[in-house]
């Protein structure tokens, strides 16, 4: 899908309306996985802001990425309940297993690892979300086996 | 041509009653995000497979969360001619038993049952089954269920289910009243903001109502950013129309034609439920111009938050909707006077708005009968941490923390000792065990050094290090500080640096005074609630758990055995050499020979605790 324009997204929004900047960026990222500089330029032109303003807004919010994520996104919850029930250990285990730090992507592009402040599944802490699947009550053993389901070793 | 609301409701009731008599067993699987994390989708698939393979007359639907998340997946089975039963821990393999023994047989599976749906949950009067207690006897489900009354009981994707349970009756009543009378009903109810600060809702509404005519906005703040809080997620996933009805009533009372729901993008299921519910409203003729033949016109939009905790603050939230960096603005002017696009704007929390239909339906006085003198009504809490019953609860305001932890919550896991209860997330504090008789009441919690907050309630036991907890919250607020006010931007960073030093065993005695001094600067020198309250977790732990700070600083010891730099892992003589720990260790720091005690290399050990989690013989000790 790379390389094609983002008109198909822009047509659904009014032009030069700053109030739709964040929704547009969200749709662009949803479609392409991340925000690359050319697409940011297009969004800037469409909304009537400068590219630096758009970058300024996008970089403020944790949701926006500027590099391509892995094919599977592993998100470790580090909310309060997950913290007191050992979420940090799970993060450390996954870091070791994937040999990357949070915020990074494995060299082959298979997995990226993120920490998230809270998914709101505190009652089933600790929680790990892979792509759209929520996994609760994660133990060290479960964390080890988790990545295998997504083609990891 | 729109059909009147009353007619639509009559149809919904007729359909519900017809479904109850169609001879099919209805299976409602609790498939909110929490249920899914526990495997609810697998459970649902197993029921569907049983239906296909055995040719059963089943109707399998998704519901929201009943509340006792620790028992998830939860399944409600309504078998024709029998009382409805709620089952807990229904993983895929348990489905077979329920199908064979209860749906096809006559053994109600008391071993899996949580309770029989009694009158309190809309079940038949006197509904009982041998060996199964009534559902309202469950400690988490015994209180009045006002806000959560539909959660778990209805299919949140089915508009008819909501309508049939007196849905939009509150809105109908509101339309027959003058807008000012609606505000007065909310005033009589004593409703205060459920987002945490507890500002009287009617007072806020009145300020907006009294502004000169012109466009104005209503925003629902569903940016539930406090880590450890999931009340809004659960409510929206389980009963989205309760919120939408509240917004319609508020819109009518305030003279607002445009409502927005600002919701976290981290809650994809809640977003989907809301979008579907808004479409249903439109089809039912409850959105758009001149609703139900009245002069009231209303539109609703969803805006997904992009992941910034500070956007829970009203003015930062407004900046975010305007397409800016989510940085707060000075108040006054308050948003009720000049908010979104400079126009009068009311921002209410999800629970506040979802309570409004109830106030209109039962009347302000009846609602105010619940709760305490200064804090009326009920409040939902997300009960989590080291407590036996985790999940979503609703209790009358004024209930003591002790009752919440030990009765509703069933006490501490493994019957250990409670150390503290944390409320209010990163803006709140830790209430020590000695103050557990504090009622959950806006003012009482403030005197204890914390706040009501939006409802996150995390229970900590003796294995929780209070310095580590303070550091956890500070690292959160330091990361989430928007950077506008230097006292918050720099102060949280400096406080975090000191806390990191203390948990690393390198703290100095004067660090405690320094922490307190910086805390005052951050509190008084910050524009918004994030900075003003960021020091609270540090200040309350310093106030109640100073000895733990001192143990880290003076004795270089973490009494709870949490802070990695201050603990060592060792194998004791209970080890039988099974090698499990060595296989679990992510850094291969454990070596040994099968059948003989293993040894941990302290230099290589990263203190992740995987060995202790894995060991079946209590042979790993933490010093």
Burial B19-44 (b: 16+ CB within 10 A, else e): eeeeebbbbbbbbbbbbbbbbbbbbb
Tell me whether residue A37 is exposed, middle or buried, using C-beta atoms within 10 angstroms of its C-beta: 0 to 12, 13 to 18, 19 or more.
exposed
CA distance A1 to chain B (A): 24
| B238 and B316 within one domain | yes
**Residue B295 tokens, joined:** 């002069």
Residue B585's pLDDT band, with cuts at 50, 70 and 90, is: confident
Question: Whole-prediction pTM value?
Answer: 0.94
CA distance A132 to chain B (A): 9
Which H or E element spans position A102? none
Using alpha carbons, select from A133, A140, A125 the residue that is nearest to residue A94.
A140
Residue B587: predicted pLDDT:
82
Does the beta-carbon distance from B320 to A22 stay under 8 Å?
yes
**Residue B164 tokens, joined:** 């049939």
Q: What is the mean pLDDT of residues B120-140?
A: 90
Q: What is the CATH number of the domain that holds B29?
A: 3.40.30.10
| B279 and B252 within one domain | yes
| B236 and B126 within one domain | no
Cβ neighbors of B280 (< 8 A, separation 6 or more) are B159, B241
Within 8 A of A83 by CB-CB distance, chain B residues are 227, 469, 472
How confident is the model over B429-449, as pLDDT tens digits? 999 999 999 999 999 999 999
Q: What is the mean pLDDT of residues B591-601?
A: 94
| B189 and B89 within one domain | no
Backbone angles phi and psi of B463, in degrees to 5: -85, 0
Cβ neighbors of B445 (< 8 A, separation 6 or more) are B423, B424, B431, B438, B451, B452
| B326 and B189 within one domain | yes
Using alpha carbons, select from B464, B500, B488 the residue that is nearest to residue B536.
B488
3-class secondary structure, B229 = coil
Q: What is the CATH number of the domain that holds B577?
A: 3.30.70.20
| B330 and B225 within one domain | yes
Residue A5's pLDDT band, with cuts at 50, 70 and 90, is: confident
**Using N-to-C axis directions, what is the helix angle for B240-254 and B169-176, rounded to 10°?**
10
Instruction: Return residues 48-87 of B near A (CB < 8 Å).
Output: 69-70, 72
The Cα–Cα gap between B297 and B286 comes to 9
B559 assigned to some structural domain: no
Tell me which residue range forms the domain holding B515.
Answer: 466-554
Residue B588 sits at the chain A interface (C-beta within 8 Å): no
Does the beta-carbon distance from B33 to A85 stay under 8 Å?
no
Q: Give the gyration radius of chain B's Cα atoms.
A: 26
Q: What is the CATH number of the domain that holds B457?
A: 3.10.20.600
Q: What is the mean pLDDT of residues B397-420?
A: 96
Domains in chain A: ranges and CATH: 7-60 (1.10.10.1590), 72-150 (3.40.30.10)
Q: What is the CATH number of the domain that holds B325?
A: 3.40.50.11540
| B406 and B501 within one domain | no
DSSP state of B420: E
Cβ neighbors of B20 (< 8 A, separation 6 or more) are B78, B80
Best of B140, B608, B616 to mutate (most A CBs within 10 Å, chain A): B608
| B361 and B397 within one domain | no
Residue A4: predicted pLDDT:
66
B80 assigned to some structural domain: yes
Q: What is the DSSP string of B130-165?
A: TTB-BGGGSTTT-S--STTTTTTTS-TT-HHHHHHT
A53 pLDDT higher than 60: yes
How confident is the model over B174-213, as pLDDT tens digits? 999 999 999 999 999 999 999 888 999 999 999 999 999 9
Rounded to 5°, the CA angle A21-B308-A97 comes to: 110
Residue B1's pLDDT band, with cuts at 50, 70 and 90, is: very low
Using alpha carbons, select from B205, B267, B204, B199 the residue that is nearest to residue B238.
B267
Backbone angles phi and psi of A2, in degrees to 5: -65, 155
Q: What is the mean pLDDT of residues B495-521?
A: 97
B277 pLDDT higher than 50: yes
Return the number of CB contacts < 8 Å for A and B: 167
Paired strand residues for A105: A112
B561 assigned to some structural domain: no
How far is the first Cα of chain A from the last one, in angstroms, to the nearest whole number? 29
The Cα–Cα gap between B499 and B468 comes to 8
A102 pLDDT higher than 80: yes
Residue A47: predicted pLDDT:
96
Could you give the percent of chain B with pLDDT greater than 90? Answer: 92
Within 8 A of B225 by CB-CB distance, chain A residues are 117-118
Could you give the percent of chain A with pLDDT greater than 70? Answer: 97
Residue A153: predicted pLDDT:
60
B87 assigned to some structural domain: yes
Residue A120: predicted pLDDT:
86
| B167 and B301 within one domain | yes
User: In the listed set B461, B485, B518, which residue is the last one of a domain according to the structure?
Assistant: B461
Q: Are B461 and B562 in contact (CB under 8 A)?
A: no
| B302 and B188 within one domain | yes
Cβ neighbors of B481 (< 8 A, separation 6 or more) are B310, B488, B489, B492, B530, B531, B534
| B13 and B76 within one domain | yes
Q: What's the total number of domains in chain B?
A: 5
Does the beta-carbon distance from B266 to A57 stay under 8 Å?
no
Within 8 A of B460 by CB-CB distance, chain A residues are 84
B150 assigned to some structural domain: no
Does the beta-carbon distance from B266 to A120 stay under 8 Å?
yes
How confident is the model over A111-120, as pLDDT tens digits? 999 998 888 8
Using alpha carbons, select from B353, B4, B358 the residue that is nearest to residue B167.
B358
Does the beta-carbon distance from B609 to A139 stay under 8 Å?
no
B417 assigned to some structural domain: yes
How confident is the model over B471-484, as pLDDT tens digits? 999 999 999 999 99
Q: What is the overall mean pLDDT for chain B?
A: 95
B143 assigned to some structural domain: no
| B575 and B548 within one domain | no
Within 8 A of A89 by CB-CB distance, chain B residues are 608-610, 613
Residue B608: predicted pLDDT:
80
Using alpha carbons, select from B348, B162, B168, B158 the residue that is nearest to residue B261.
B348
Q: For residue A110, how many other CB atoms are within 10 A of its CB?
A: 16
Q: For residue B81, how many other CB atoms are within 10 A of its CB?
A: 6
Residue A2: predicted pLDDT:
47
Q: What is the mean pLDDT of residues B390-404?
A: 97
Closest residue to A122, CB basis, from B36, B384, B469: B384
Residue A25 sits at the chain B interface (C-beta within 8 Å): yes
Q: What is the mean pLDDT of residues B203-225?
A: 96
Q: What is the mean pLDDT of residues B29-49?
A: 95
Q: What is the mean pLDDT of residues B411-426?
A: 95
Q: What is the CATH number of the domain that holds B504?
A: 1.20.1440.230
Does the beta-carbon distance from B265 to A26 stay under 8 Å?
yes
Residue of A nearest to B580 (CA): A141
Residue B451: predicted pLDDT:
94
Cβ neighbors of A11 (< 8 A, separation 6 or more) are none
Q: What is the mean pLDDT of residues B595-599?
A: 93
How far is the first Cα of chain B from the last one, in angstroms, to the nearest whole number? 74
Closest residue to B38, CB basis, from A60, A132, A136: A136
Q: What is the overall mean pLDDT for chain A?
A: 91
B342 assigned to some structural domain: yes
């Amino acid at each position: 899908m790379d390389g094609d324009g983002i008109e198909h997204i822009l047509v659904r929004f009014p032009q030069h309306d700053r109030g739709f900047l964040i929704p547009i960026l969200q749709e662009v990222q949803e479609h392409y996985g991340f925000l690359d500089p050319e697409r940011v330029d297009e969004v800037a032109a469409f909304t009537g802001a400068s590219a630096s303003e758009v970058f300024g807004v996008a970089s403020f919010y944790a949701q926006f990425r500027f590099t391509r994520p892995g094919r599977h996104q592993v998100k470790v919850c580090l909310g309060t309940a997950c913290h007191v029930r050992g979420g940090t250990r799970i993060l450390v285990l996954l870091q070791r297993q994937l040999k990357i730090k949070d915020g990074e992507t494995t060299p082959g592009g298979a997995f990226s690892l993120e920490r998230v402040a809270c998914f709101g599944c505190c009652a089933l802490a600790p929680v790990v979300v892979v792509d759209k699947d929520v996994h609760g009550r994660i133990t060290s053993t479960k964390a080890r086996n988790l990545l295998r389901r997504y083609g990891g070793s | 041509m729109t059909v009147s609301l009353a007619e639509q409701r009559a149809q919904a009731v007729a359909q519900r009653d017809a479904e109850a008599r169609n001879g099919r067993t209805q299976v409602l699987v609790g498939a909110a995000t929490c249920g899914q994390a526990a495997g609810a989708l697998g459970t649902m698939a197993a029921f569907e497979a049983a239906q296909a393979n055995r040719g059963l007359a089943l109707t399998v639907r998704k519901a929201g969360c009943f509340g006792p998340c620790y028992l998830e997946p939860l399944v409600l089975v309504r078998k024709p001619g029998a009382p409805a039963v709620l089952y807990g821990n229904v993983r895929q393999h348990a489905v077979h038993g329920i199908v064979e023994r209860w749906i096809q047989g006559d053994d109600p599976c008391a071993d899996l049952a949580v309770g029989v749906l009694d009158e309190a949950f809309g079940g038949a009067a006197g509904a009982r089954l041998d060996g199964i207690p009534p559902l309202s006897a469950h400690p988490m489900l015994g209180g009045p269920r006002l806000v959560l009354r539909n959660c778990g009981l209805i299919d949140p994707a089915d508009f008819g289910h909501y309508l049939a349970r007196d849905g939009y009756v509150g809105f109908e009543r509101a339309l027959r009243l003058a807008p000012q009378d609606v505000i007065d009903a909310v005033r009589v109810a004593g409703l205060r903001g459920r987002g945490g600060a507890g500002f009287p809702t009617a007072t806020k509404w009145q300020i907006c109502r009294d502004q000169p005519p012109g466009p104005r906005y209503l925003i629902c703040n569903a940016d539930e950013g406090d880590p450890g809080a999931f009340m809004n997620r659960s409510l929206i996933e389980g009963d989205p129309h309760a919120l939408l009805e509240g917004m319609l009533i508020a819109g009518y009372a305030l003279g607002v034609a445009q409502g927005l729901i600002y919701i976290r993008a981290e809650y994809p299921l809640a977003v989907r439920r809301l979008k579907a519910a808004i479409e249903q409203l439109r089809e039912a003729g409850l959105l758009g111009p001149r609703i139900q033949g009245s002069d009231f016109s209303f539109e609703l939009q969803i805006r997904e938050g992009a992941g910034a905790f500070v956007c829970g603050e009203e003015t930062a939230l407004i900046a975010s909707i305007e397409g800016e960096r989510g940085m707060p603005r000075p108040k006054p002017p308050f948003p009720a006077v000049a908010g979104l696009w400079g126009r009068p704007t009311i921002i209410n929390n999800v629970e506040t708005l979802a309570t409004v239909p109830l106030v209109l339906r039962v009347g302000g006085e009846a609602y105010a009968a619940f709760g305490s003198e200064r804090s009326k009504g009920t409040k939902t809490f997300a009960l989590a941490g080291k407590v036996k019953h985790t999940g979503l609860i609703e209790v009358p305001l004024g209930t003591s923390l002790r009752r919440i932890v030990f009765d509703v919550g069933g006490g501490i896991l493994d019957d250990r000792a409670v150390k503290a209860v944390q409320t209010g997330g990163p803006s709140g504090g830790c209430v020590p065990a000695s103050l557990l008789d504090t009622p959950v009441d806006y003012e009482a919690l403030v005197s204890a050094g914390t706040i009501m907050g939006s409802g996150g309630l995390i229970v900590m036991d003796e294995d929780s290090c209070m310095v580590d907890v303070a550091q956890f919250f500070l690292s959160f607020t330091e990361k989430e500080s928007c950077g506008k006010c230097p006292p918050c931007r720099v102060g949280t960073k400096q406080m975090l640096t000191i806390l990191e030093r203390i948990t690393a065993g390198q703290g100095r005695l004067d660090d405690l005074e320094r922490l307190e001094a910086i805390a005052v600067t951050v509190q008084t020198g910050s524009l918004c609630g994030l900075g003003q309250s960021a020091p609270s977790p540090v200040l309350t732990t310093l106030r109640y758990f100073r000895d733990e700070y001192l143990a880290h600083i003076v004795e270089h010891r973490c009494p709870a055995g949490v802070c990695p730099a201050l603990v060592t892992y060792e194998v004791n003589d209970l080890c039988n050499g099974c090698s499990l720990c060595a296989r679990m260790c992510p850094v291969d720091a454990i070596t040994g020979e099968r059948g003989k005690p293993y040894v941990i290399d302290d230099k290589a050990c990263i203190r992740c605790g995987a060995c202790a989690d894995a060991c079946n013989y209590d042979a790993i000790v933490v010093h």
